[in-house]
Chain A
């Protein structure tokens, strides 16, 4: 089972290594990891998707909490959170396929961010299943290159993940 964790960490060099190293040496599997600074420049936020049952999740959270640079770890159940990922997909096109690809882009409310003679770069955001669906549809045209950010997530409603418990 997949779990999405929001991890607030000190915005310091080496913190990513500590987190990644912890996962590998404890034998946990990272599905994806996205990291960036928060509203507070001293704090970064990682969104980590891990695979495992509830017991594995509990150990992951406890072990993460043991790292001195980790300030807070929260589990974000998918039904209670907004989940988004961004992907850039470069698709090979010619005059016969270009229109069809652009139609798919439209249906998915994606964007074409670069147009070449033989290729298009498409930017798509959405949850994992949307991006997977789009990838599947575009595959027939030939995906030359694809890059995904990994999932980021946020609680719905007023609930927030904060450095200090209120």
Chain B
């Protein structure tokens, strides 16, 4: 490419265009004025949010739904610190985003200038990498590196902090063709010998189980997973992050495991003789009491991040590599005539029959029923969730068929994530119905984004499972704190229909089971931003449940 003279700000926009960025979620301010001036004429779409946190979540939702890198933009100081929760959310769930922040001019850095915050310092532990632009001519190379780092290896957020004076200096723009990073070379292909070892364990196993997570979705290896599972006739359980990686209705599917997983998934893990773990990190919500986790199983752990292997559990066969690549090779080695898992699958089938996921089927409007109805009326929807009971019911009672159709803050558990993330999802996948399954508590954490979805015509549906409580915390208080509902009662303080209308969105309400289907259909048909207020049973619990610190087969059914 030939060199062109341009301002640092223009170089930022040009770099984004070189990376194929089609949309930025952002909020302007003093230290990004030159950037916003360039955006005025740029081809890239800018969506003005109402709070920077929403910009980060929207970029994250966009990235999870499309597989592309999401981009958000904020000014220095409070603008930048408002991104922090969103960046931490993306970091915990390995989501590729690039966050751009303005910074005070270089000569003022360190002087506690107006709206100055050391955002590279603040985000050090929650970014995969970050940059403070020290020299305007580094801008193209930094952007090239940032996007490369964000989307390769184990994906994650990268932050670029750009002092205002570097935005106005003139540089010679030349976008680098490749990145040269001495300290960053992710392992892509798995070690062949290790894969052979894994294959021989698999062929010997009588009670194998595939335990898979977000790594399957990020590496786009759902097909390979299915081929492997069907080839060796092993049941598949997914983490919360892995919902959609394997079809819920597949005979080999055990649904989710862990604290609110299915009984049969947890029993199967505990009784298995071989766990094939792919793109997972043995999180405490999955393993329960770690010393009692899968006592009889050998463990094969496939992950792109070597630091995840051996972090929480001892692994017999570690394989570092891209899940898709490793699974492809593994499939070659496990072709066999006879499977030894017949008895195992029979046992699991009996568990599935005996302990189905269920809830009380009576005349009351229960939240699980709402999720089931959404699943039936909108089987192809992309489900986004808030955090808490709504999230668990969304994971348990929607029938997921495809990857990138369940989008949720798993690791950080960020309340207020769902609605702005849904906005990003809809922008990235406009052809899909996008439904945020929300709680009345979580939704109120970012409800200001109603203004954004209305102004930018982003028709997402928010299905509030309104129980007037911070439901998950209330559930723990009921079970472990003697029903002392300290600070968890929200009562019926907000009229969500009126709230929707105040912003120019559509507001609907259902109080009876018989209304549920109609309002869902009406929301879909309206093609405009919609809130549905489902007034549900107030003290419904998420069931089953493994109490914190118990082994995952010590699972309780709750009324």
Contacts and interface: CB of A to CB of B under 8 A. Distances in A.
Interface of A: 9-10, 13-14, 17-18, 21, 25, 55, 58-59, 62-63, 65-72, 163-164
Given A14-B132, A66-B307, A164-B182, 5 more contacts: A10-B183, A62-B307, A68-B128, A69-B183, A71-B183
Nearest to A164: B182
State the 7 A-B residue pairs at the shortest beta-carbon distance, nearest first. A62-B307, A71-B183, A68-B129, A71-B182, A68-B184, A70-B183, A25-B125
B149 A68 contact: yes
Interface residues of B, number: 18
A65 B305 CA distance: 10
A17 B121 contact: yes
A5 B132 CA distance: 28
Contacts of A9: 183
Given A59-B307, A66-B305, A66-B307, A17 B124 contact: yes
B125 A55 contact: no
Contacts of B306: 62, 65
Contacts of A163: 182
Contact of A21 (B125, B132, B184): B125
Interface in B61-102: none
Contacts of A69: 183
A63 B121 CA distance: 18
Interface in B262-309: 305-307
Interface of B: 120-121, 124-125, 128-129, 132, 134, 149, 181-184, 305-307, 310-311
Contacts of A18: 124
Contacts of B120: 14
Nearest to A70: B183
A63 B307 contact: yes
Contacts of A14: 120, 132
Given A17-B121, A17-B124, A25-B125, A68 B307 contact: no
Nearest to B306: A62
16 contacts: A10-B182, A14-B132, A17-B121, A21-B125, A25-B125, A58-B310, A59-B307, A62-B306, A62-B307, A65-B306, A68-B181, A69-B183, A70-B183, A72-B183, A163-B182, A164-B182
A164 B125 CA distance: 27
B311 A59 contact: yes
A66 B181 CA distance: 12
A12 to B, nearest CB: 9
A59 B134 CA distance: 32
Contacts of A66: 305, 307
Contacts of B121: 17
Contacts of B128: 68
Contacts of B124: 17-18, 21
Nearest to A66: B307
Contacts of B134: 13
Contacts of A63: 307
A9 to B, nearest CB: 7
A100 B371 CA distance: 85
Nearest to B153: A66
Contacts of B184: 68
A164 B182 CA distance: 8
Nearest to A67: B183
A96 B132 CA distance: 58
Contacts of A70: 183
A117 B120 CA distance: 50
Contacts of A25: 125
B135 to A, nearest CB: 12
Nearest to B309: A62
A88 B510 CA distance: 78
B310 A68 contact: no
A25 B91 CA distance: 15
Nearest to B311: A59
A72 B182 CA distance: 9
| Residue among A62, A71, A164 having the largest count of chain B Cβ atoms under 10 Å | A62
Q: A14, A55, A67, A164 — which one has the most chain B CB atoms within 10 A of its CB? A: A14
Contacts of A65: 306-307
A37 to B, nearest CB: 15
B145 to A, nearest CB: 8
Nearest to B182: A71
Tell which of B125, B183, B305 has the most Cβ of chain A within 10 Å. Answer: B183
Contacts of B181: 68
Contacts of A62: 306-307
Nearest to A163: B182
B411 to A, nearest CB: 15
B29 to A, nearest CB: 24
Contacts of A67: 183
A65 B184 CA distance: 8
A56 B555 CA distance: 32
A55 B311 CA distance: 8
A59 B184 CA distance: 17
Contacts of B305: 66
A62 B306 CA distance: 7
A76 B184 CA distance: 22
Contacts of B183: 9-10, 67-72
